[in-house]
Chain A
């Protein structure tokens, strides 16, 4: 294999690998921008992978799986919004509770539906959709424009979120809610609605991130299919400074490390593979040391807003 082909293959893999990171991190970012900090990504991705896979398998179409994954992600997001925004319970406690519940439900649903089998049930994986004209370009065409729809979706979504947040009135309101909900509320912005909508949509994006894994990689559901990508997406969100465009850039890094770790395993470099599997997490810690200092976090992140609570001044 010549060097050029190696590079093309590597970058192609990075493009395919960054999808779940981007979707889950943008979902995290969206909720966080109104102050709701989800820590249930890992669980939502698991349950969406499981339910999405089952829907696609039984109903016989990937689209059903995608819709089911969004539905289930949205429901978990709705629960998170309800417990935190309406009942004003601690976001981390609720987020962790939802993680455990959804993670448990994911394997339960699979086992109830499929049972234990020697040969795993399979769904077709997502086909590549080369973009007209663009995919004919030398090098660039192969790397960027011959992918499944989720890859395009992840990129386009990031750009759309950027425009929404920074170029529209609704984006301004949304960011204001995450910085100072009292200020937003005092100008007639519906804080509760904003928090619900972003948390539910954020949950849907996490659901998409989850269902991508069986649809793009394995063709089936396994209990360890998410492998910490949900947790890493939280790190990616901080790494990207809670900005959609930087999150997209950061995802190249996270995906790059994952591909490297995977390649190193395959090529047998003589290091036990468990160490290689640690690589993404170690890299995360290393980049987050300066990253956390740099990141500007929404001021109201992780807190709940109660209009009538008297300020302790």
Chain B
């Protein structure tokens, strides 16, 4: 075997008390697409941020083309021909495409002429790799798929021959994913090497030549795809923590319902909701969720999902239309009444809307439910009961905390998510509105959430599951509606599920046209 193009040896990295990487090895051969697979918190992104110079390793060596190198900043990495496309795009929103791409490469005092030359080069690169963009469009106006191409072009423009892609398929429609994979193949054919970070086994099998699996900051194995089975990857990602055989997540089998849906519990008629900029974010949506049913809402993030969820929960005013939940007519400010009527809510943005950072874990666990027994007797809180419940929930939901009195801000992101889930699931509900409930969770926790959702459905709850993860929706839902620019492009029943069809709807093709 020839010397690897990139080799990382004995990499260690800690953030405060948290060990992110421990003695990790990684190597990339020239001309391959190398998958870097692992669940949330496995250390994939951290490892690659070290290679790209955004983080500095505590210990370990990096070799590029056989030479030991020290990478102190992205500038060093770029000089070595290493480019990285981050999951959260690192773009200057009000700048144009060409400005974003050429940033840092223009002559200090050079002017328009150089920008034009850059635009020409971008056009050429876009053509070469099948990454169509308009160089003069402003980035913040572009859809996610195009912004991703911009991000890739940024690396190619700098002559990178090692391209790191961090979860590049997040928020792409299935069609866009296919196009991306084609572009990657084109790049490899033209001499580039690609590191592909993902948590989706299917993507590894679809596009990678080799794969390295990480778990909890450690190497599990590195193999070529040809000699790897999906089960090995599953086992590698989750270890012994999960009964893979009985897992919903890895079964790939959709979860059929065995019942006929009952009375309508969520009724939305001709709903229009204004966004923060006073432009309608949700427009003329009509749908019903019945008891014992999960209705999924698919769509690329930012197409009105947040506004829809908030309007249904009485957090955001309803501009037009009617929402009735569990027999209750929703208005802005009815959140408290909804919670009292057995409606549970898992908000999208856990840091902003999901918890009180300065309050204790126990406070957070009963938040919104604190007016009812057993937490409250008359006007007074029953603290022994609250703490008893808090201890139980911390245990049951595996929330890593010093105890109920700890300040919630000390919790990590995944634990805050678990806290929110505990709050929603621990109290009986007939209606659940859940927005990206598994974001940032490790695999066993995701599995746990899926089980809880299906249990709730089995006992007759009506669930509105808004998610950016199409696979999750296809697995769990009875029907899937797709939001595009605030409009419902159509609702498909389970027999009609087709991810390419939904992909078209995510891109704005209505169900009837398709």
CA distance A167 to B91 in the complex (A): 20
Q: Do B413 and A187 touch across chains, with their CB atoms under 8 A apart?
A: no
Q: How does the 8 Å CB contact mask read for B150-173 relative to A, with 1 for contact and 0 for none?
A: 000010001000000000000000
Interface flag for B104 (CB, 8 Å)? yes
Residues of chain B in range 97-116 having any CB-CB distance to chain A below 8 Å: 99-100, 102-112, 114
Q: Contact check: which of B95, B108, B110 meets A176 at CB < 8 Å?
A: B95
Chain A's nearest CB lies how many Å from the CB of B280? 21
Chain B's nearest CB lies how many Å from the CB of A189? 5
CA distance A312 to B413 in the complex (A): 7
Q: Contact check: which of B86, B91, B104, B112 meets A189 at CB < 8 Å?
A: B104
Interface flag for A180 (CB, 8 Å)? yes
CB-defined contacts of A169 to chain B, threshold 8 Å? 102, 105-110, 114
CB-defined contacts of A187 to chain B, threshold 8 Å? 74, 78, 90, 103-105, 154, 158
Interface flag for A224 (CB, 8 Å)? no
Interface flag for B93 (CB, 8 Å)? yes
Interface flag for A172 (CB, 8 Å)? yes
CB-defined contacts of A190 to chain B, threshold 8 Å? 75
Q: Do B440 and A313 touch across chains, with their CB atoms under 8 A apart?
A: yes
Q: How does the 8 Å CB contact mask read for B362-406 relative to A, with 1 for contact and 0 for none?
A: 000000000000000000000000000000000000000000000
CB-defined contacts of B91 to chain A, threshold 8 Å? 180, 183
Q: Do A172 and B99 touch across chains, with their CB atoms under 8 A apart?
A: yes
Q: How does the 8 Å CB contact mask read for B50-94 relative to A, with 1 for contact and 0 for none?
A: 001011100000000000000001110010000010101011111
Interface flag for A271 (CB, 8 Å)? no
Q: Do B90 and A188 touch across chains, with their CB atoms under 8 A apart?
A: no
Q: Contact check: which of A173, A179, A180, A313 meets B104 at CB < 8 Å?
A: A173
Q: Do A186 and B109 touch across chains, with their CB atoms under 8 A apart?
A: no
Q: A167-B111, A179-B95, A184-B92 are in contact. Are A172 and B74 (CB under 8 A)?
A: no
Q: How does the 8 Å CB contact mask read for A149-183 relative to B, with 1 for contact and 0 for none?
A: 00000000000000000011110110110011011
CB-defined contacts of A13 to chain B, threshold 8 Å? none
Q: Do A168 and B109 touch across chains, with their CB atoms under 8 A apart?
A: yes
Q: How does the 8 Å CB contact mask read for A231-267 relative to B, with 1 for contact and 0 for none?
A: 0000000000000000000000000000000000000
Q: A168-B109, A170-B108, A173-B104 are in contact. Are A186 and B74 (CB under 8 A)?
A: yes
CA distance A166 to B154 in the complex (A): 21
Interface flag for A8 (CB, 8 Å)? no
Q: Contact check: which of B55, B86, B109, B413 meets A170 at CB < 8 Å?
A: B109
Chain A residues in the interface with B (C-beta under 8 A): 167-170, 172-173, 175-176, 179-180, 182-190, 296, 299, 307-308, 310-313
Q: Do A184 and B413 touch across chains, with their CB atoms under 8 A apart?
A: no
Chain A's nearest CB lies how many Å from the CB of B357? 10
Q: A188-B73, A188-B75 are in contact. Are A182 and B90 (CB under 8 A)?
A: yes
CB-defined contacts of B94 to chain A, threshold 8 Å? 179, 296
Q: A168-B109, A169-B114, A312-B351 are in contact. Are A184 and B104 (CB under 8 A)?
A: yes
Chain B's nearest CB lies how many Å from the CB of A112? 43
CB-defined contacts of A296 to chain B, threshold 8 Å? 94
CB-defined contacts of A183 to chain B, threshold 8 Å? 90-92, 100, 103
Chain B's nearest CB lies how many Å from the CB of A130? 32
CA distance A307 to B86 in the complex (A): 14
CA distance A307 to B15 in the complex (A): 13
Q: Do B95 and A186 touch across chains, with their CB atoms under 8 A apart?
A: no
CA distance A45 to B75 in the complex (A): 38
Chain B's nearest CB lies how many Å from the CB of A164? 8
Q: Do B114 and A188 touch across chains, with their CB atoms under 8 A apart?
A: no
Chain A's nearest CB lies how many Å from the CB of B342? 31
Most chain B beta-carbon contacts within 10 A, residue among A168, A175, A188, A189: A188
CB-defined contacts of A179 to chain B, threshold 8 Å? 92-95
CA distance A170 to B158 in the complex (A): 18
21 A-B residue contacts at CB 8 Å? A168-B109, A169-B107, A173-B103, A173-B104, A175-B92, A176-B95, A180-B90, A180-B91, A180-B92, A180-B93, A183-B103, A184-B103, A185-B54, A186-B54, A186-B86, A187-B90, A187-B154, A188-B73, A188-B74, A189-B103, A189-B104
CA distance A304 to B110 in the complex (A): 29
Chain A's nearest CB lies how many Å from the CB of B36? 18
CA distance A173 to B99 in the complex (A): 9
Q: Do B413 and A313 touch across chains, with their CB atoms under 8 A apart?
A: yes
Majority SS of interface residues in chain B? loop
Q: Do A167 and B75 touch across chains, with their CB atoms under 8 A apart?
A: no
Most chain B beta-carbon contacts within 10 A, residue among A173, A189, A296, A313: A313
Chain B's nearest CB lies how many Å from the CB of A171? 9
CA distance A184 to B93 in the complex (A): 12
CB-defined contacts of B15 to chain A, threshold 8 Å? 308, 310
CA distance A170 to B105 in the complex (A): 10
Chain B's nearest CB lies how many Å from the CB of A85? 16
CB-defined contacts of A313 to chain B, threshold 8 Å? 88, 413, 440
Q: Do B108 and A168 touch across chains, with their CB atoms under 8 A apart?
A: yes
Chain B's nearest CB lies how many Å from the CB of A68? 30
Chain B's nearest CB lies how many Å from the CB of A217? 36
CA distance A134 to B364 in the complex (A): 71
Q: Do A311 and B103 touch across chains, with their CB atoms under 8 A apart?
A: no
Chain A's nearest CB lies how many Å from the CB of B103? 5
CB-defined contacts of A173 to chain B, threshold 8 Å? 103-104
Chain B's nearest CB lies how many Å from the CB of A183? 4
The 9 closest A-B pairs by CB, nearest first: A169-B106, A188-B75, A183-B90, A187-B104, A179-B92, A170-B108, A186-B90, A186-B74, A180-B92
CA distance A173 to B103 in the complex (A): 6
CB-defined contacts of A184 to chain B, threshold 8 Å? 92, 103-104
Chain B's nearest CB lies how many Å from the CB of A63? 28
Q: Do A176 and B88 touch across chains, with their CB atoms under 8 A apart?
A: no
CA distance A186 to B77 in the complex (A): 9
Residues of chain B in range 1-24 having any CB-CB distance to chain A below 8 Å: 15
CA distance A179 to B52 in the complex (A): 21
Chain A's nearest CB lies how many Å from the CB of B155? 10
CB-defined contacts of B413 to chain A, threshold 8 Å? 312-313
A169-B102, A187-B78 provided; 12 other pairs, C-beta below 8 A?
A: A167-B111, A172-B102, A173-B104, A175-B92, A180-B92, A183-B92, A186-B90, A307-B54, A308-B15, A311-B88, A312-B351, A313-B440
CA distance A56 to B468 in the complex (A): 66
Chain A's nearest CB lies how many Å from the CB of B44? 14
CA distance A170 to B56 in the complex (A): 27
Q: Do A186 and B52 touch across chains, with their CB atoms under 8 A apart?
A: yes
CB-defined contacts of B99 to chain A, threshold 8 Å? 172
Q: A180-B93, A188-B78 are in contact. Are A172 and B103 (CB under 8 A)?
A: yes
CA distance A308 to B158 in the complex (A): 24
CA distance A185 to B86 in the complex (A): 13
Chain B's nearest CB lies how many Å from the CB of A293? 12
CA distance A136 to B247 in the complex (A): 89
Chain B's nearest CB lies how many Å from the CB of A177? 9
Most chain B beta-carbon contacts within 10 A, residue among A187, A189, A313: A187
